[in-house]
Amino acid sequence: MQEILKKINDLKLIPAYSKHDQLVQGIINAIDEKMVTAGGRLPTINEVIGKLGFARETVVKGYKDLIRRGIVESKGRKGYFVTNGDTGQIAKVALLMYLMDSFQEQFYQSFRTELGQKVHIDIFFHHGNINIFETIMNMVKGKYSMYVISPIPHPKTRELLNSIPRARLIMFDRFEQLDGEFNYVCQEFEKASYKAFAELADNIKKFDEIIFFHTKDSLDPVEIIKSYKKFAKDFGVKASIKPRYISGSVSNRKVYFSLNNAELWEILNDCKAAKLKPGRDIGILSHNDEPVKKLVADGITTYSTDFKLMGKKAAQAILMREPIHEIIPTTLAKRKSL
């Protein structure tokens, strides 16, 4: 223990180092020189205060920094212990996603690129199934430095997420409220959807009706359904919700709103067969933008968050070892389909 304290104290000779830097780098140096290995106990807060004269706030902040890096863990009253002897590897990350669709892939590619090759990532897919989600959570718990998780709206979710130390958790994409402070970089659905519908109201009113395809057992965010109904009432728009698009049923003077890409492509295919032009004969609105939607049918109108930015922000929070509490804005892209 004295050797570790000496390593911390030696760094006071470097003028550029604050006491926070001395504590963090001193412990890293001690680990690198094998003075303490994985599972080994580190000086307590009181020991650092008593032997080195550091302020309690400085010591607590320093240990929190090491915990965020995945190098140290706190075991309550037992103290602080080394979890990862490889201080050169910033983190080992468990990434829990819904599924690898086109926009989730945008998140992943940006996340992977920003983290670089020194960070190991294991990807898991829960498909919005709470039983799969629970199985994965139980399997990965305690084995990773960071957990980047897209949560499921379900009563069990909070309990499962609470099993992960808050400093190691980053919630992404969808937001689920937890007690206390926690890290997140998410999108918002309810206000953003209503704002998009409202901005498109004049365009939508040029047609006879807007139809939203949604099934109750789907993964669609319930906030979008609420906003859709409120918009229809507030703006006096004839609107309906149907469980799915039936092949060949495309009809003139309708606006079709879908969250499902496969459904979107089917509607466009039927438009071509019926010689109906999107933007003139029918309207089309899609959620979640991607490059192909800028090109097909002279451009599909979408509203979407920036998944590349979301992935970049999540990765930066890991690399910088800083808390993140951010909602990524949603942008409406008006194109010729509406």
The stretch 306-314 carries a mean pLDDT of: 97
Q: What is the pLDDT of residue 10?
A: 87
Examine the pLDDT at 90 and tell me if it is beyond 60. Answer: no
Q: Pick the range with the lowest mean pLDDT from 119-128, 212-221, 228-237, 249-258.
A: 212-221
What would the DSSP string read from start to end of 37-95? -TT-B---HHHHHHHH---HHHHHHHHHHHHHTTSEEE-GGG-EEE--S-TTS--EEEE
To the nearest whole percent, how much of the chain has pLDDT over 70?
Answer: 97
pLDDT value of residue 287:
95
Q: How far apart are CA 99 and CA 125, in angstroms?
A: 5
* Phi, psi angles (nearest 5°) of residue 282: -135, 165
Write down the pTM of the prediction.
Answer: 0.73
Residue 280 confidence class, pLDDT cut points 50, 70, 90: very high
Phi, psi of 272 (to 5 degrees): -65, -45
The pLDDT, as a whole number, for residue 16 is: 62
Pairing of strands 80-82, 72-74: antiparallel
CA quadruple 16, 18, 22, 25: dihedral, nearest 10? -70
Q: Do residues 149 and 169 lie in contact, with contact meaning Cβ atoms separated by under 8 Å? A: yes
Q: What pLDDT sits at residue 91?
A: 61
More confident residue, 40 or 69: 40
Q: Closest Cα to residue 225, out of 197, 264, 184?
A: 197
- In terms of average pLDDT, the best of 19-28, 158-167, 198-207 is 198-207
In this prediction, residue 211 has a pLDDT band, given cuts at 50, 70 and 90, of very high
Other beta carbons within 10 Å of 97: 20
For residue 137, the surrounding DSSP H or E stretch is helix 130-140
